[in-house]
Structure 1
Amino acid sequence: MSTVTPEKPSHESVRSELRALQARSPLFSRPGFLIRRMHQIHGFLFAEETGDYDITPVQYSLLTTLDAFGELDQNTLAIQVGLERSSVAEVIPRLHARGLVDRTQASHDKRLRLVKLTLKGKRLVAKMSAAVQRAHDRTIDHLSPEEQDLFMLLMIKLVEANNAESLVPFKLPE
């Protein structure tokens, strides 16, 4: 029994398909427009899948980062999630008021505010994970598995390549 593997599209066929799509709208030639539109689409899907939890994508990113890395100061948390410190400083009190995070002052540096997940926060992250995964899956489910992998790889490459030039720093832990 022989298996047929689909041929990888040639660069020429990809370019031809791209040009045909771009001919439909000048916006399809603008990466910024497409990124913003995908962000809107994902935000809608996230809200649809997770609406019962009353958590925004930014809040979920903060919670899952704390879940993964433990207690962090707010500056490090901002860098990890790729947000301005002031944005994190506005969101953390809301999460604290809901009992999802605890905040303390660092003993070694009184200027630093440390944040960590509470048990309630950990439970919420775990409870939301399937719904969030559905939102992520739905965002790219119109692509084949190979295209999904390539799309993710290319997005990661772009994020990493632009980090040095970014106004909002993002750094993965060593």
Structure 2
Amino acid sequence: MKEMSTDGFTETRPDIDGNDLAMIEELSSFYDRPGFLIRRANQIAVSSFMEDLGELGITPTQMSSLVVISETPQIDQITLARRIGVDRTTISMVVNGLVEHGFVRREQSSQDARRKEIVTTRAGRACAMLARDNAVRNNARLLGFFTEAERECLAALLRRLIDDVPAHAPDWIRPDGTTRFGTESTLARDFPEHANLYNAFGFLLRRTHQTLESVFIETTKSLRLTPRRYGVLRIVDKGQPVEQISVARWLALDGSTTATLVTELVRRGFIMRDAHPHDRRRRLLRLTDAGKQLITDGHPLAFEASQKVLAVLGKDTDTFRNLIRRFIVENDEFSRVPLQRAVTLALRQADI
């Protein structure tokens, strides 16, 4: 039986493998970063949505688009992208998917021959209504363990991060042309047709994830890092030699994404693959000297990115961390991509 360190993960842990315990102790600050916590929460919310609404064949972003299109006659694709806060490439794929499903169609604008408008079909309008109802139930399931005051507090903190963290996420522009979320009540007052969407917890998580990812990428741009690349390097650094499947579990990434990230970092000369001593079909990952230097250079920049986020939270930092940890732990079963059990247990026992 061993005790965790007191820098965030604090309880006695007799049920965690000794090697996993050592990893947690080494990486407690990494798993306590707002960026990691928000990414995991968003991942869970998306998985839960897909479980509930998978029979409709649409993603959360497609549902958001369908709701906005159905409430906004004659909307064009660029305006739609800004209303839900995604880039032009993403919105093109989203709309193409909705067209293929038969939920929307593109029409020539009667006012501007160069402009294509997006309109819902009868099937699309029916799907939007069903998706709204199911999304409300899903939202209630994800947040059911919170008190009303806790739910409102966490939502308000997410809005603050979205509005005040200095980052360049894809533009989100309200119907009145402004770019701040404001409060739940003002959104309901000013945009009753979109208020349920903009106040949906999954929408807030997605937008917060975009914001925090953007501030990390912008802060570390000299090193060409992303949060996921940095995460892979951190896990390989602390676990080396480590198998690729273990990297995936420690970061809650699917196998395909992990393979792509590792292959890229191998190509760039930061990671090397060694044959496993007992099974030639398996590979062990280690950092190269260049990878070790990248970690050394990346630590202060990653810390700076987190500090930009924490500065916005200020005295509410501990409240935010406790609430978002609880969201992750209580809803962990809904995630399609597992996180190493030791990390989930550490998050649970940090929330006291």
Question: 1: CA distance between counterparts of 2:68 and 2:164?
Answer: 22
Paired residues for 1:62-73 under 5 Å: 62-73=65-76
Question: 1: CA distance between counterparts of 2:67 and 2:7?
Answer: 37
Pick aligned residue for 1:52 from 55, 80, 86: 55
Paired residues for 1:1-174 under 5 Å: 22-23=8-9, 25-162=28-165, 165-174=167-176
Aligned to 1:10: none
Percent of matched pairs sharing the same residue: 29
Measured on the aligned residues, the alpha-carbon RMSD in Å equals: 2.0
Give the paired residue count: 154
Question: 2: CA distance between counterparts of 1:40 and 1:58?
Answer: 13
Letter in 2 for 1:23: F
Question: 1: CA distance between counterparts of 2:113 and 2:8?
Answer: 54
Alpha-carbon contact 1:71-1:116 (below 8 Å) kept: yes
Alpha-carbon contact 1:106-1:112 (below 8 Å) kept: yes
- Where does the alignment leave 5 or more consecutive residues of structure 2 unmatched? 1-5, 11-27, 177-352
Question: 2: CA distance between counterparts of 1:76 and 1:22?
Answer: 43
Question: 2: CA distance between counterparts of 1:65 and 1:23?
Answer: 42
- Where does the alignment leave 5 or more consecutive residues of structure 1 unmatched? 1-19
Aligned to 2:317: none
Alpha-carbon contact 1:103-1:115 (below 8 Å) kept: yes
What is the TM-score when the length of structure 1 is the normalising length? 0.79
Alpha-carbon contact 1:140-1:148 (below 8 Å) kept: yes
Letter in 2 for 1:132: A
SS of equivalent to 1:142: coil
Question: 1: CA distance between counterparts of 2:137 and 2:68?
Answer: 19
Instruction: Tell me the CA shift for residue 96 of structure 1.
Output: 1.3
Instruction: Tell me the CA shift for residue 21 of structure 1.
Output: 8.3
